[in-house]
Chains A and B, each alone.
Chain A
Amino acid sequence: MSADTATNGLVFEARGITKVYHMGEVEVHALRGVDLTLGAREFVVFLGPSGSGKSTLLNILGGLDTPTSGHVLYHGRDLTEADEGELTLYRRRHVGFVFQFYNLIPSLTARENVALVTEIVEDPMPPEEALRLVGLGARLDHFPAQLSGGEQQRVAIARAIAKRPAVLLCDEPTGALDISTGIVVLEAIARANQELGTCTAVITHNAAIAAMADRVIRLSDGHVASVEANATKRSPGELQW
């Protein structure tokens, strides 16, 4: 797939997004006017130094946060005009999240953590199937504390894809993992992107991961510094760390 895929089915269209945090007297400009588009079935990687605003941007796309100014259109609907209840529904129906620290519910087993999502959406995958997709078919009834970091992250991915989301947003999904586990996790994400056609955005510090994306968007100090389309997309197994 190439960059011009974006034009034949826009999922997100962000225009002039800013985000300012007020910390007492100090104003922190996390985003200073970001414009971007994400297409259906597209796989985008965000790169950028720490503090450049990647998480802030992803949270805004996912309806976890609202920008200070600017607009985010999701399939033409303006998320910045949605209220709390509409954002909740948007997250529930369309978005799958994967966090850097997994954020599993420690008192629920892998299967139950996935079921947490499949309970509340229409037409989900069975939790068991989602877990098989990420290679954890044999660990259904294990609690997070009984799983390794990589396995926990894969449960988080299963939890995100089980609802067959339209978008999958991953904030440093491999941040806490070693190379080989990281690859397994990335394979799970890539598979969701290919097999379910999910529009996928992944934040990472690891430039090598960029090679598996359709496009790489670099942020710096709250701006989009550059956008590159990958001519050849690598599979996770071929990545050079």
Chain B
Amino acid sequence: MVRVAPLDRKLLRDLVEMKGQALAIASVVAAGVAMFVTYHSNFDSLRRTQGAYYERYRFADVFASLKRAPQRLEERIADIPGVAQVDLRVVADVTLDVEGYDEPATGRLISVPAEGRPRLNEVFLRQGRWIEPGRPDEVVVSEAFANAHHLVPGGRLAALINGRRRELQVVGLGLSPEYVYIIPPGELIPDDRRFGILYMERRALGAAFDMEGGFNDVSLSLVPGASAEEAIARLDRVLQPYGGRGAVPRRLQISHWTLDNELAQLQSFGILVPAIFLGVAAFLLNVAMTRALAIQRPQIAALKALGYSNREIGWHYVKWSLVIAFAGALVGIGGGAWLGRGMIAIYNGFFRFPILLYRLSASVAVNASLVALAAGAVGALLAVRRAVRIPPAEAMRPEPPARYRTSFVESRGLRLTHATRMVLRNVERQPARALATVVGISFAVGILLFGFVFLDAMELLAEVQFSLVQRQDVTVSFVEPASSRALHEVASLPGVMAVEPVRTVAVRLRHGHRHRTLALSGMPARPQLSRIVDLEGRAVSLPPEGLMMSRILGQVLGVTPGDEVVVEVLEGARPVRAVKVVGLVDDYMGVAAWMEIGALHRMLREAQTLSGAQMMVDPRALDALYRRLKALPRVAGVAVTQAARDAFRRIMAQNFEIITIFNVSFAVIIAFGVVYNSARISLSERSRELASLRVLGFTIAEISLILLGELALLTLLSVVPGLLVGWGLSLFVLRSFSSEVYRIPLVVTSANVAWSILTVVAAATVSGLAVRRKLDRLDLVAVLKTRE
């Protein structure tokens, strides 16, 4: 038999005695630890996978695109200080026609050597084989796109390459570190059906796009320690005469940026969310320990008299909460491993890695336990210090009877029933505990509200995007800027009821030493199809002169209306102009700049050129339109609003329902834990009082009112702070989610408020009733006999 020290036996038996409370607190700890483990293990897994993938598949450090430059430039690029490897490619977006899919899809053709492998941004071949030299029709297709269309090696698809329809043969499915996150150009949400990457032999692609002996895309890797900014500045200078559109560092590369953003969010959530749960748990432990120590006051005195030191006694009681916290941590680690695995599955739907395995490292598990133990120790320590410090001679005397006062409400001269009076006096006598309960329930309400607000925010974002901003049905972008004749051609396509021209041009905006490379959009002054909409949902019209930009871009560049910015055009004759900023728009989208299309033409000194068009289409004619678009040589890409909306719905349905279930269950755990704990403590403190009332002839219903009335009061008091917590939490999280790509609106609806409150009240009621059942079994004789 294992020898257990008597104090440890006492510990175990005391814990069994308070098992209900211990369980309630341990579940709050478990929830916090589970979130800790979920976030941190996912962070770990993603980070590791990303690092290994980038390294083994040689992800580049700098990316640039240009119009066309001769191959011989390679030497000059390689001579830029800090450059380790140079990879020159031909990259072009084309319209794809996939069997069984009506809408035209967009394909990004990327040149790869037929012999040997790409120097940078290597392709991982999942299935099939590499392209063979001298087979211009062979392509390796990005896995996600292939899967979405059930394409396998041996399959075929058609592409409109430089005006000619070409049948391509799929020989392999591949992935690349450059496209871990694949998003259609100019869109917000991934859609694997509408956008795919196609790797094609260099010579074939060169021939198709007049790029023999030339290139239009550069990737660089840098030697360790080299400055990307400097390399970019030099590369831009080299590429400028060849229509360079401004190089970007890895940091701004869209796939990498998205992944990094996600990692940063995991990290900040991994701190925030567990902090809330463990904070509440520490609060609960403190309250529970304070009460338990009050009950054990004579035992503490005895232990001291027997010669146990303050430290030994204190440690004994701290161990209580450590055991509870550790039990919670064990369950939480298990739960977190399970949730983490589920979350990785979600990530596997968004991020395309050769293999993204879930890995729960020992250090995450250990850290999670340490954090839980720390919360437990903090919660217990304050209570234990107070109790252990009482001098032994004083602890020996029974605790003085609780001092009650007439409550604040009574002193206002209100006439109250006996039950109400007892409830109020009790709450006011224990302000610290009342506060702890209110704080705990508030967080439950807050977490729920935040969850609902987050979902609504996504809905609203979609609503704004798809009903107010993108009112066009179809957007086409051209391979090359086209003359105004193209607009008439588009207008005469089948089913087209309205068209509006778009002129986008790659520019670098400069203000002082700050600059940003982006696409500047020229649109009609009052567009009817693709509009600019501010946070209030109002359409913004463009003034006849000057530049409008989003507030976020304004902040990036540090400009206010009236300032002048330098516009360096990165296409054509590359003019450089000073343009006045006439307004900043508060909108949901991130970095963007607009001009009235006529003003843009004047600035570029060009005729009525357009680079694409928005159209409104008769739904009955959509199929005919798609068929024509798939064959239009001018067209590089087609975006269908309905398809994007559907993609958004799919993602929402897949992921956000899971998030809601999490939120609700966690909020319920907190509410239940807090209320149950509080109710058990009230019961333990007042069982004598309640039993005496029963002996005097009160009914169970009447004494329940006294016990539960207090909880009901505290729950009600938590509503307003809870909503404030939820609001603050939402504000914080939505801010941290908002980025240069989009801003998330914070809208709190009355339905959200109502659901948050109702859910928590329901959880509180259930746990109140669980304690209420103990009143039925109140042993009147035993309670009156025990000495406190």
Q: Which residues of A contact B (CB under 8 A)?
A: 56, 59, 62, 64-65, 84-85, 88-89, 91-93, 95, 97, 99, 101, 103-108, 112-113, 115-117, 119-121, 159
Taking the closest CB of chain A, its distance from the CB of B61, in whole angstroms, is 63
**Assuming the A-B contacts A59-B393, A95-B307, are A101 and B7 also in contact, with contact meaning beta carbons closer than 8 angstroms in the complex?**
no
Q: Which residues of B contact A (CB under 8 A)?
A: 5-7, 9-10, 13-14, 17, 298-299, 301-310, 391-393, 396, 787
A56 and B393 alpha carbons, distance in the complex (Å): 8
Contact of B302 among A84, A93, A104, A107 (CB under 8 A): A104
A103 touching B299, Cβ below 8 Å: yes
B307 touching A105, Cβ below 8 Å: no
B391 touching A65, Cβ below 8 Å: yes
**Assuming the A-B contacts A59-B396, A99-B302, A107-B10, are A119 and B310 also in contact, with contact meaning beta carbons closer than 8 angstroms in the complex?**
no
B307 touching A84, Cβ below 8 Å: no
Taking the closest CB of chain B, its distance from the CB of A226, in whole angstroms, is 25
**Assuming the A-B contacts A88-B308, A116-B7, are A64 and B396 also in contact, with contact meaning beta carbons closer than 8 angstroms in the complex?**
yes
**Assuming the A-B contacts A101-B787, A103-B299, are A89 and B6 also in contact, with contact meaning beta carbons closer than 8 angstroms in the complex?**
no
Taking the closest CB of chain A, its distance from the CB of B399, in whole angstroms, is 13
**CB-nearest residue of chain A to B7:** A116
**Assuming the A-B contacts A85-B309, A91-B304, A103-B298, are A119 and B396 also in contact, with contact meaning beta carbons closer than 8 angstroms in the complex?**
no
**CB-nearest residue of chain B to A92:** B307
The secondary-structure label for the interface of chain B is helix
**Assuming the A-B contacts A59-B393, A59-B396, are A105 and B299 also in contact, with contact meaning beta carbons closer than 8 angstroms in the complex?**
yes
Contact of B307 among A93, A101, A107 (CB under 8 A): A93
A33 and B310 alpha carbons, distance in the complex (Å): 30
In the complex, what residues of A have CB within 8 A of residue B299's CB? Answer: 103, 105-106
Can you report 24 A-B residue pairs in the complex whose CB atoms are below 8 A from each other? A59-B392, A59-B393, A64-B305, A64-B393, A65-B393, A88-B308, A91-B307, A92-B307, A97-B302, A97-B306, A99-B396, A101-B787, A103-B302, A103-B305, A104-B302, A105-B6, A105-B302, A105-B303, A107-B13, A108-B10, A112-B10, A116-B306, A119-B5, A120-B306
Taking the closest CB of chain A, its distance from the CB of B10, in whole angstroms, is 5
In the complex, what residues of B have CB within 8 A of residue A89's CB? Answer: 307
A120 touching B396, Cβ below 8 Å: no
In the complex, what residues of B have CB within 8 A of residue A62's CB? Answer: 305
A120 touching B308, Cβ below 8 Å: yes
A88 touching B9, Cβ below 8 Å: no
A85 and B304 alpha carbons, distance in the complex (Å): 11
**CB-nearest residue of chain B to A113:** B6
B310 touching A115, Cβ below 8 Å: no
Taking the closest CB of chain B, its distance from the CB of A118, in whole angstroms, is 9
In the complex, what residues of B have CB within 8 A of residue A97's CB? Answer: 302, 305-306
In the complex, what residues of A have CB within 8 A of residue B14's CB? Answer: 107
A103 touching B301, Cβ below 8 Å: yes
A116 and B393 alpha carbons, distance in the complex (Å): 20
Taking the closest CB of chain B, its distance from the CB of A125, in whole angstroms, is 15
Q: Which of A56, A64, A65, A89 has the most CB of B within 10 A?
A: A64
Taking the closest CB of chain B, its distance from the CB of A196, in whole angstroms, is 17
**CB-nearest residue of chain B to A60:** B393
In the complex, what residues of A have CB within 8 A of residue B301's CB? Answer: 103
B6 touching A108, Cβ below 8 Å: yes
**CB-nearest residue of chain A to B393:** A65
**CB-nearest residue of chain A to B312:** A120
In the complex, what residues of B have CB within 8 A of residue A93's CB? Answer: 307
8 A-B pairs besides A65-B393, A88-B308, A115-B6 with CB distance below 8 A are: A59-B393, A62-B305, A64-B391, A97-B305, A108-B10, A113-B6, A117-B306, A120-B307
A106 and B787 alpha carbons, distance in the complex (Å): 12
A88 touching B305, Cβ below 8 Å: no
In the complex, what residues of B have CB within 8 A of residue A92's CB? Answer: 306-308
A101 and B787 alpha carbons, distance in the complex (Å): 9
**CB-nearest residue of chain A to B309:** A88
Taking the closest CB of chain B, its distance from the CB of A121, in whole angstroms, is 7
**Assuming the A-B contacts A62-B305, A120-B307, A120-B308, are A105 and B393 also in contact, with contact meaning beta carbons closer than 8 angstroms in the complex?**
no
Taking the closest CB of chain B, its distance from the CB of A219, in whole angstroms, is 17
**CB-nearest residue of chain B to A97:** B305
**CB-nearest residue of chain B to A107:** B13
Taking the closest CB of chain A, its distance from the CB of B70, in whole angstroms, is 86
**CB-nearest residue of chain A to B305:** A97
In the complex, what residues of B have CB within 8 A of residue A106's CB? Answer: 299
A108 touching B396, Cβ below 8 Å: no
Q: Which of A56, A93, A107 has the most CB of B within 10 A?
A: A107
A65 touching B392, Cβ below 8 Å: yes
**CB-nearest residue of chain A to B313:** A88
A49 and B748 alpha carbons, distance in the complex (Å): 70
Taking the closest CB of chain A, its distance from the CB of B314, in whole angstroms, is 12
Contact of A112 among B6, B303, B787 (CB under 8 A): B6
B393 touching A119, Cβ below 8 Å: no
A88 and B17 alpha carbons, distance in the complex (Å): 29
**CB-nearest residue of chain A to B392:** A64
In the complex, what residues of B have CB within 8 A of residue A101's CB? Answer: 298, 787
